[in-house]
A = this chain, B = another copy of it.
Amino acid sequence: MAVGKGDLGVLHPVPGITMAAVSAGIKKPGRLDCVVFSLGDSASVAGSFTRNAFCAAPVTLCRQHLAITSPHYFVINTGNANAGTGNAGMENARRVCHEVAELKSLPINSILPFSTGVIGEQLPVEKITDVLPEALAQLQEDNWTDCAKGIMTTDTRPKAASVQIEINGKTVTITGIAKGAGMIKPNMATMLAFIFTDAKIESQQLQAMLDIAVNKSFNRITVDSDTSTNDSCMLVASGASEVQIDENNAEFMAALNTVFVGLAHGLVRDAEGATKFVTISVEDGANQEECLQLAYTVAESPLVKTALFASDPNWGRILAATGRAGIEALDIGKVAIYLDDVCIVQDGAVASSYTEAAGQEVMEQEEITIRITLGRGSYSETVWTSDLSHEYVKINAEYRT
């Protein structure tokens, strides 16, 4: 299941960046499960990683390598997360980097490894190193769809987004791919996302821009409230366009936001078992924290999520979640709740204009906005989520079989 059509649209190549997707047979033979990106010699790279204390070996290694030198290659495998694997896991991640470094005569620190898949099993290193020469031989400018497929796990479809803008008469491109369908409540970034631009951006600036973009995209989605051990989001600026950009360029930041939000929405639309794409918008809060807290409480309520799955306008569950979100001294008499434009709760109780038929009509849509206004300030926040279906339980009960 997935919400919406999921067309990838036109995915523009990013000058300076090449890529390949091959099959290493990590979990299933014949499946694209190993992706390599070549970043060229002068790219700036920024990274945003999981805050999970049990972060995976490749995440630890990425952080170490990024602190030492500028990366030249990304190597990504699916089918195995290399998390909870201790010292052996670190050594295995290093061996993957070492192989590419040898083949390309580069220092090992210029290779960044990424893994996603089952936690707690050792990485089958040989399967990966065996196919790296093939991957490096196949690097090309325009292979986004295969690479987006090559990083999928329980995803039912690839996710990618691409935007071109004109700056000073020159075309600047931003294209990215992402994966993730479960264990999604990114706390910095999501499972894996790789976004590339040919703009020329200084490293520290790039990191600031990544942090801003992540915070309004991957850090505003939740499928099941579980933050992964492997979350990594990388932003690469190849500089090939020769257009110098910094975070004060509003047009570029807007384009970047479009790509990030597009990818983040792509994850939610393809969330495990998803039949609905739901926007939770909290308005008129006293501060940003309480708006976020309430939005996540509603977004993660299993009862709200099963009502969404059933297309049942059982708004009492939204009201109950609002009431238990821990908002200090909430005056329920000022709270209103809307399903799209239908007002269901006003002044803290069912709205006099509300009819079950009106609520039902909205709930039957594939895309729904739940809007909660608190009447106690001027802050607002939005998060996106999916419903909780039979399929979610099935996928996650049978994940390792």
Q: Which residues of A are at the interface with B, using a C-beta cutoff of 8 A?
A: 51-55, 81, 83-89, 118-120, 182-183, 185, 187, 224-229, 300-303, 306-307, 309-310, 312, 314-317, 319-324, 327, 330, 332, 345, 347-350, 388-390, 392-394, 396-401
Contact = CB atoms under 8 A, between A and B. Distances in A.
23 contacts: A52-B323, A53-B322, A54-B348, A83-B316, A84-B315, A84-B345, A85-B349, A86-B348, A89-B349, A119-B314, A119-B316, A119-B319, A120-B319, A183-B303, A187-B324, A226-B301, A226-B317, A227-B323, A227-B324, A228-B320, A302-B396, A306-B399, A393-B393
Given A84-B316, A316-B83, A350-B85, A54 B396 contact: no
A120 B350 contact: yes
- Chain A interface SS verdict (over half): loop
A42 to B, nearest CB: 36
- Of all A-B residue pairs in the complex, the 9 with the closest CB atoms, nearest first, are A119-B316, A86-B349, A54-B323, A310-B397, A306-B396, A227-B324, A120-B316, A52-B323, A53-B323
A330 to B, nearest CB: 4
A52 B324 contact: yes
B53 A226 contact: no
B54 A84 contact: no
Given A54-B323, A54-B348, A310-B397, A316 B118 contact: yes
A223 to B, nearest CB: 9
A383 to B, nearest CB: 16
Given A306-B396, A324-B227, A393-B389, A87 B319 contact: no
Given A319-B229, A327-B53, A349-B87, A393 B397 contact: no
